[in-house]
Structure 1
C-alpha cells in the first residue's frame, strides 16, 4: 500500500497507521521528512547545555540576543545558526537537541519528537574523539553516531521497520565537522611530529568515512557536507598573528576539503545508493572576507562579542562587550559567524551554483528519490 512516506502496515494486526501520515508526513512546503544534524558548535542548537562540566557552552548572554526569544539557547551565535537556516529552507522546524529530548521526555514522547529530525551536534566536537578533551566534555562524532542509532531504533518501534527505512532514506543527514580537529593539529606539536599535514587530513577523511558507512548501515542515504571555511581567518587566529589570517591553518583546511571530496567520490563508488551535496564554505567565507561591502559587511577581522585585541582575547561572556550592529560583522565571537553571515552562507549554497555546491545543491539533493 503506497501512501505518504510514514504510512506503514503495522506488523501486529496488519492495521494501517493512516493517522501517522496525516500527522507526520511531509507538508506541502516540506522538502524532506526530516533532517538529522551531526557536527560541532557551528550547528549546535543546545546539546552542550546538558553536559554539566563542558567548557564549550553558550547558554549565557550575550549569545541569543537576536534570537526570536532574545535569550541564549546554547547556540554559539547572536541569533540563528546554519542549522536553523537550513531547516527553514527545507520547510522543517529546527531539529531539536537530542540531549534535551532524552532528558525531558518519556520514551514514547521522544519517538514522536524524532520524526522531523534531531540534532546531535556538540560544541567542541571533532571527527577524532580526542579533540573534545580541551573542552572537558563534548559529544564526539563517534558518540553522535551512536545516538543516531538509538533514534533509529526508536523510529523502527514507532513506525515499523519498513516505514522507518523509507522515512530515514528520504531524510537529509547534515554533517558539519572537522574544524576542531584542525585546531587541535595546529595547537599540538606532538600531533605535528606524529603526522604530516597530508597524513593527518587523510586520517580525518578516512575516519569520517567509517562513521558514514555506519550511518548508511542504518538507512542514511542523503548527506549534506559543509566543508571547512578558512578557519585561519577567524578572530582567534588573527589575534595570534598580528591581525593577519593564519595561512598554515587555512592551508590545512583546504587540504582537508580536498581529502573529504576525494573520500566522498570513493564512497559513492562503493555505495551507489547514496547521494550528497558538498557546500564549499571555504569559497563563500573567502568571498565575504575579500569583498565584504558587496554583502553588507564592514568588519571581517574582529569579533562582535569579546574583549581585547579584535575582541578575541576573551570570548563572548557576560562581561564582554558587543557591537551595536551585528549585521555588519562576519564573526560573532572568536570562532563563530554572526547570524547574518550564517544566513548568507545558506542563501548562497542552498540553491548554489557549482561554485558553491556540488555535485548538486541542497534543493536538488532533497528531490533525489531514495
Structure 2
C-alpha cells in the first residue's frame, strides 16, 4: 500500500493533502548511479556519459512530479559530491589525485538537476525546493582543510586497511585512525561525522553559494 493511500485512510482527503503539502521530501541520491555506470562496461556501451546523466535527471524529475501530483510541495535535493576524490578513487592514482572524469560528470549531473528543478518551479504552482551543492562544500573543505575544518587528513580513510586505508573496507579486523575528527573520510566512500556535521549545518543555514535558491531552514519556514 502506498504512503498516499495510508494517509488518506488515516487522515481523510483534505487533511492528507494539507499534511503532505507541509512535509519536506528529501532526496540524496545519484552517487551510486554514477559509480554503477563507471564500473559497468555494459552500461557504458549502452549510453554515453551525457546520455546516462540525462537519464538520471529525467527519472528523478518523473518521481518529483508523481509526488507533486499527490500534494508534495517542498523538496530538498542534495547534489552529488566530488566522488572522484573519495579514498577508493584516490588510491587508484599513483599520486593520490582525484579522478577528474568522475568529478566532471558529477558536476554535469548537478547542473542538469539544478536546471530541472528551476524548470519545475516555473511550471508547477507552489513547487518549492532547496538544492544543496554537496560538490561545492566538499571542495571548500578539501581546499581549506586545516583552517576551515581542522582536518589533517583529506585523502586517507579513518577506517580500512592498505594504502590510504582504502584497499580493504571498514571491517571488524581492520585498523582505525586514532582521531576520526581530523579525517575527512571515515571509510572508502563515506565522510566522517565531523565532515557530515559541516555539511548538515551548511545545508540547513548556509548561504546561496551552496543552497539554491534557499536553504532548508528557509524552505521549511516558508
TM-score tier, shorter chain, comes to: over 0.9
Aligned residues: 220
Matched, 1:211 2:63: yes
Give the secondary structure class of the aligned counterpart of 2:80.
coil
Partner residue, 2:221: 367
CA distance in 2, matches of 1:307, 1:284: 27
Match of 1:319 in 2: 173
Q: Which residue of 2 aligns with 1:172?
A: 24
Q: How does 1:1-370 map to 2 (within 5 A)?
A: 150-242=2-94, 243-294=96-147, 295-368=149-222
CA shift, 1:155, in A, is 2.0
Q: Deviations over 1:20-66 (max 9, x none)?
A: xxxxxxxxxxxxxxxxxxxxxxxxxxxxxxxxxxxxxxxxxxxxxxx
Give ranges in structure 2 of 5+ residues lacking alignment. Answer: none
Which moves more between the two structures, 352-361 or 150-159? Answer: 150-159
Provide the rounded CA distance (Å) in 2 between the counterparts of 1:205 and 1:330.
Answer: 28
Please tell me the root mean square deviation across aligned C-alpha atoms, in Å: 1.2
CA distance in 2, matches of 1:285, 1:316: 22
Task: Deviation per CA, 1:113-162: give whole Å up to 9, x if none.
Answer: xxxxxxxxxxxxxxxxxxxxxxxxxxxxxxxxxxxx72222222222221
The whole-number CA distance in structure 1 between the counterparts of 2:125 and 2:146 is 43
SS at match of 1:365: helix
- CA distance in 2 between partners of 1:320 and 1:164 (Å): 49
Residues 284-323 of structure 1, C-alpha deviation per residue, up to 9 Å, x if partnerless? 0001111100111111101111111111111111111111
* Higher share of residues assigned helix: 2
Query: Match of 1:318, SS?
Result: coil
Deviations 1:91-125 (A, max 9, x none): xxxxxxxxxxxxxxxxxxxxxxxxxxxxxxxxxxx
What is the CA–CA distance in structure 2 between the aligned matches of 1:185 and 1:337, rounded to whole Å? 22
Deviation string for 1:178-227 (max 9, x for gaps)? 00111112112232232222111111100111111111122111000000
Shift of 1:250: 0.3
TM-score, length of structure 2 as denominator length: 0.95
TM-score (norm 1): 0.58
Structure 1 CA distance for aligned equivalents of residues 71 and 153 of structure 2? 43
- Runs of 4+ in structure 1 off by over 3 angstroms are none
